[in-house]
Amino acid sequence: MNDRILVVDDQQSVRATMEDALVESGYSVRTAESAEEALKLFIEGFDVSLIISDYRMPEGMNGFEFWKRLKQLSVEVPFILMTGDLTPELQEQTMAAGIPTLIKPVSERDLLRMVDLLLNR
């Protein structure tokens, strides 16, 4: 059984690029364009091995708020936060929470290295 990954990003091009790279590496991928859309999946019982979420999305909750909501729902899966602007405050929050961070634009090599590491491949 291959690992299933959820990619959450408001930019369709980012979702598509990441999905292509992950699928090519043998992962099953589902995408969502907002944290709210992704959260609904979990409320409906969706199961994944890993979540990759953008931090800054123009509408609704950001990626860190999404992570906190998942914790409230007792969703315990590895989580990667992507951001194009890693402020000292955000870095402090992610480090304290133990959330690995990727800086956008994310290279395919860095993406796959972190995913493989978190999924013990």
pLDDT in tens, 50-106: 999 999 998 899 999 999 999 999 999 999 999 999 999 999 999 999 999 999 999
pLDDT at 35 over 80: yes
Q: What is the mean pLDDT of residues 5-11?
A: 97
- Give residue 39's pLDDT: 95
- Give residue 59's pLDDT: 86
Q: Calculate the average pLDDT of the chain.
A: 95
pTM (2 d.p.): 0.95
Cα→Cα distances 76→79, 81, 82, 105, Å:
9, 15, 18, 27
Which CATH architecture fits 4-118? 3-Layer(aba) Sandwich (3.40)
Q: What is the mean pLDDT of residues 3-13?
A: 97
User: What count of residues does the chain have?
Assistant: 121
pLDDT in tens, 56-66: 998 899 999 99
- Token output for 88: 């000292």
- Give residue 58's pLDDT: 87
Which contacts (CB < 8 Å, 24+ apart) does range 102-105 have?
A: 102/52, 104/14, 104/54
